[in-house]
Chains A and B, each alone.
Chain A
């Protein structure tokens, strides 16, 4: 397994601003994923962030809105840019340990006013 931390745990932001979410893992992992969980909903994959390559975005998500960095094997950031109230969600990072097994961080609860 892996221990994953996220910062911040929650934030309230004004529309039009940007927020960067950090994800730190206690061991080196190749695969990291970013998800969005809208209120009362399931998880939707935003992108896959593998170290050494550009992030791969899912349909409906674009780099200009959700830029991702993956500078090393233990850290990644997701930025939510030019926020609107529709971006209010929980954002979760996870790490993949092969064979599809993923471990999740505690999430960042974002409210946009």
Chain B
């Protein structure tokens, strides 16, 4: 069965420190991969996406993600976090031709001063 795993439920990081959020998926072929961010009381905002090509993709707000086929992973990174990066982050995967997304459980990021 298809699945998306975000192993870290909650991450606390100091402002200015680097951040890495993990995402692993289980699909038969290379899926379409996405990271979304949800700030408190808000909808989901698309940070970045991977369809094919260069395995390192750049997104908005200084985020990047790397697709590693051998590890079935699509980890999100930011070199230096800002207090405004405190939010819920969701990894999402699409495959199978139905245009539906499967979401991971989410990772809550807390930024301390």
Contact = CB atoms under 8 A, between A and B. Distances in A.
A43 interface: yes
A92 B43 contact: yes
Interface string B77-90: 00000000000001
A107 B100 contact: no
B53 to A, nearest CB: 13
Interface in B27-76: 32, 34, 36, 41-46, 49, 51
A99 B101 CA distance: 10
Given A42-B103, A42-B104, A43-B90, A101 B43 contact: no
A104 to B, nearest CB: 4
Nearest to B95: A100
A48 interface: yes
Nearest to A102: B101
Chain A interface: which size bin? 20 to 34
B34 A100 contact: yes
- Residue of A4, A33, A42, A103 with most chain B CB atoms under a 10 A cut-off: A42
Interface residues of B, number: 22
B94 to A, nearest CB: 3
B29 to A, nearest CB: 13
A12 to B, nearest CB: 15
B42 A107 contact: yes
Interface string A74-113: 0000000000000000001010101111111111010000
A100 B36 CA distance: 13
A31 B99 contact: yes
Contacts of B106: 41-42
- Residue of B34, B44, B95 with most chain A CB atoms under a 10 A cut-off: B44
B105 interface: yes
Given A104-B43, A107-B42, A107-B43, A99 B32 contact: yes
10 contacts: A33-B100, A41-B106, A42-B104, A45-B101, A48-B98, A92-B43, A94-B44, A101-B46, A102-B101, A104-B44
List 5 tightest A-B contacts by C-beta distance, closest first. A100-B94, A100-B32, A104-B44, A106-B43, A104-B43
